[in-house]
Chain A
Amino acid sequence: MPFEEKMTWVSLVVTIAVPIWYFATMIGRLQTTPAADIAFQKPLIVAIVASVVLIVIGAILMSVGTSVTAVARGRKPEDEIDRKDERDKTISRHGDLVGYYVASVGTVGVLVLTMLEADYFWIAGALYLSFVAAMIVSSVVKLVAYHRGF
């Protein structure tokens, strides 16, 4: 598996797991508190920072694992980790483009919520959701391209 594909898996897992925690927390609070009164700011910041930190940790662990495997097979670790070729870049661009379309659609939804003067809670949630959906779709498109061809 190319290192870029491994990193796409890390990104996908984190981008699914962290928002699940955030949205589960928010749904829990919605049961007892009106949306306008929910303090969503801190959990949202925690979710965003946690995503970045977990992806960095995942990248480090993946680099160590890939290096150990490479050495065991008698290869240089840098050949496995640093080698990002034209196919990786093409797949990455393709996935990012599809993700951009998803984010664009999500942004329209956020715009509608703003025009309807929805509570900040819903606007922030929708914006985060569109970002997360874009990341997930982008990662899935990349993984499909790696396996089915591009």
Chain B
Amino acid sequence: MGKPTRVTNRIRALRFAAREMTQAELADKLGVTRQTVIAIEQGRYSPSLEMAFQIAQVFEVPLDDVFQYPKGE
């Protein structure tokens, strides 16, 4: 089974840049389970637009610094 989403993300890199924030810490800030953070990081789950903005706000970066989508396909 391939990845269910073509959206990629830099959450892992952003976590490490943010003083090595753990997945549990990010989950607490977002009010979601740690498993959901793991699923998003691994591209197994595409979050809602609202959660995507919340993630970007946690790292204080624009949305497209967190999530990317392949062009022209």
Question: Which A residues are closer than 8 A to B by beta carbons?
Answer: 1-3, 5, 75, 79, 83, 85-88, 146, 148-150
Bits for B28-49, please: 1 = Cβ < 8 Å to A, else 0.
Answer: 1011110110010011110110
Q: Which 5 A-B pairs give the minimum distances between C-beta atoms?
A: A149-B44, A85-B32, A87-B36, A2-B33, A149-B4
Chain B interface SS verdict (over half): loop
A/B interface sample: 17 pairs, CB < 8 A:
A2-B33, A5-B35, A75-B24, A79-B28, A83-B31, A83-B33, A85-B36, A86-B48, A146-B35, A148-B4, A148-B44, A149-B3, A149-B42, A149-B44, A149-B45, A150-B44, A150-B45
B45 x A87 contact (CB < 8 A): yes
Contact partners of A87 in chain B: CB under 8 A: 32-33, 35-36, 39, 45, 47
B44 touches A86 (CB 8 A): no
Q: Could you list which residues of chain B lie within 8 angstroms of chain A, going by C-beta atoms? A: 1, 3-5, 24, 28, 30-33, 35-36, 39, 42-45, 47-48, 51
A150 to B24 Cα, complex, angstroms: 21
**CB of B34, distance to nearest CB on chain A (Å):** 8
A88-B48 contact given A79-B28, A148-B1, A149-B3, CB 8 Å threshold = no
- Give, as a whole number of angstroms, the nearest-CB distance from B46 to chain A: 9
Q: Which residue of A lies closest to B51 (CB)?
A: A86
Query: In the complex, A7→B63 CA distance in Å?
Result: 34
